[in-house]
Structure 1
Amino acid sequence: MTAPQAQLSVDLSGLNCPLPILRAKKALADLPSGTVLHLICTDPGTPSDFAAFCEQTGHSLLHQEQADGKFLFWLQRR
């Protein structure tokens, strides 16, 4: 599956838990419903963190992948 088109990309490289989730939450709060947010992370805990975050908040985790030591996520705001 190819990654969806994102309206905003945020590089969270170098940040460790809980900062990637907190920064993503802040970015999503400023976006209209239906907007896709692309996140770039280096913390190896982010795949499970973002899965739980989306389950708890109702946002959709549209796609995720790992490339070049980075964890990439595409979230859609509910």
Structure 2
Amino acid sequence: MPGEALGETYDLRGLKCPLPVLKTRKRLKSMETGASLTLETTDPLAGIDIPHFCSQDGHVLLSSERTETGHRFVIRKG
């Protein structure tokens, strides 16, 4: 649901590609399957990179929305 943060929130604002994906991958590895992670990013490429990362690594992208400063993603660990 847009605007609704689920699970943990991970602030990746200010980081440039590929750091948002690398840090997200590392964070998800430490979480239980089915857990949700909300990402806040400012990297313009995150709108492409995060959905691609989710599909490649077997995670579910629950929501993706533009914010005033970038993007917010909610991911469920697969």
TM-score (normalizing by structure 2):
0.92
Which runs of structure 2 are paired with 1:1-78 in the superposition (5 Å)? 1-3=1-3, 5-78=5-78
Q: CA deviation at 1:14?
A: 0.4
Q: CA deviation at 1:2?
A: 3.4
Mapped partners of 2:75, 2:45: distance in 1: 17
Q: CA deviation at 1:51?
A: 1.2
SS at the partner of 1:51? helix
CA-atom RMSD in angstroms: 1.2
Unaligned runs of 5+ in 2: none
Q: 1:4 to 1:32 in 2, by over 3 A?
A: farther
- For the 8 Å contact 1:3–1:63, the answer to whether it is kept is no
Mapped partners of 1:19, 1:2: distance in 2: 24
What percent of counterpart residues are identical? 36
Shift >2 Å, 4+ stretches: 1-5
Q: CA deviation at 1:7?
A: 1.4
Count residues with an aligned counterpart.
Answer: 78
Mapped partners of 1:45, 1:2: distance in 2: 20
Structure 1 residue identity aligned to 2:62: L
- For the 8 Å contact 1:4–1:63, the answer to whether it is kept is no
TM-score (normalizing by structure 1):
0.92
